[in-house]
Amino acid sequence: MSTPSAAARLDHWLPRLVLAPSFVLSFLFIYGLIAWNGYLSVSASRLLPNYEFVGLQQYEILFQSERWMVALKNLGIFSVLFIGIGMALGLLLAILLDQKIRAEGLLRTIYLYPMALSFIVTGTAWKWILNPGLGLEHLMQQWGFENFRFGWLVDPDMAIYTVVIAGVWQSSGFVMALFLAGLRGIDDSIIKAAQIDGATLPQIYWRIIVPSMRPVFFSTLMVLAHIAIKSFDLVMALTAGGPGFATDVPATFMYTHAFTRGQIGLGAASATVMLATVAAIVVPYLYSELRSQRR
């Protein structure tokens, strides 16, 4: 048996040699830093890293913190409303555009435009719009509606819902694009057969088309859940976690304690909890995708 030539060996190893530096750097700067953060979360670190092992003490302090519990509550409120309203509005917009209406391209561009903006821009814009002395409330009062009030942005009980409004405004167009792609992938013969059987358009969508889009729903749910968990920039631009800490979410809690309050260990513990939450969402999704590909 002849031995491989030098050219064949080079063709075999060259791709590996080219990819090796990026793989090593990715491994070190992603997984290495994740491991380092995990160790800081069980250390006595405060203003500076302190590698004295203290077990789960940081996690005990974390879950005894009123501010952390408020952040978890806000994350729950924001996630449920952001995902639910975003998916419902995106589906309605996709169904509207699926009717082959005029100016579909223009409307699709308008709906998708907010997704081209960063959350920082979105948060800043909505901060102006919802500012009682500058935005919507001020405008309505100038138009003669002197009793109009919309002070959610400065109301500790309602401020988290302004974050929901801004998040849904930005993401609904992206959700629409996902659902529209799913709708356009459905065989028209199924719809025509249902119409021949006397099914109305709402019945066709509700009983045939929407149930057949379960993979799209699942993928959209995963994407929006991931966005909701790491919604740091939107909250910081819109409310900065205020009034007080009424709109804190885990991401802003982690940033505040790790970088401005000198509590690195506590911030690392909150980041580890966030990582575990994201993993609990992403890992089942990846597992289901791998299973479907194998089938």
Those residues with Cβ within 8 angstroms of residue 210's Cβ, 6 or more apart along the chain or in another chain = 91
Tell me: the pLDDT tens digits for 33-79?
A: 889 999 999 998 888 888 889 989 999 999 999 999 999 999 999 99
Backbone angles phi, psi at 53, to 5 degrees: -75, 125
Kindly indicate whether the domain formed by 65-294 is annotated with CATH number 3.30.2350.10.
no
Query: Cβ–Cβ contacts within 10 Å for residue 23, how many?
Result: 11
What letter does residue 261 receive in the DSSP assignment? S
Strand-pair partners of 43: 53
Q: Do 97 and 185 contact (CB within 8 A), yes or no?
A: no
Structure tokens given for 13: 């190893």
Per-residue pLDDT tens over the stretch 142-171? 898 888 888 888 889 999 999 999 999 999
| Structural tokens at position 210 | 């929407």
Give the pLDDT confidence score for residue 4 in this predicted structure: 61
Q: Which two tokens stand for residue 127?
A: 């901060």
3-class SS letters over 21-42:
HHHHHHHHHHHHHHHHHHHHCC
Q: Rounded to whole angstroms, how far apart are CA atoms 230 and 238?
A: 15
Ordered DSSP codes for 86-135: HHHHHHHHHHHHTT--TTHHHHHHHHHGGGGS-HHHHHHHHHHHH-TTTS
pLDDT of residue 126: 92
In this prediction, the residues of the chain whose per-residue pLDDT falls under 50 are 1-2
Q: How many of the other CB atoms lie within 10 Å of CB of 263?
A: 20
pTM: 0.83
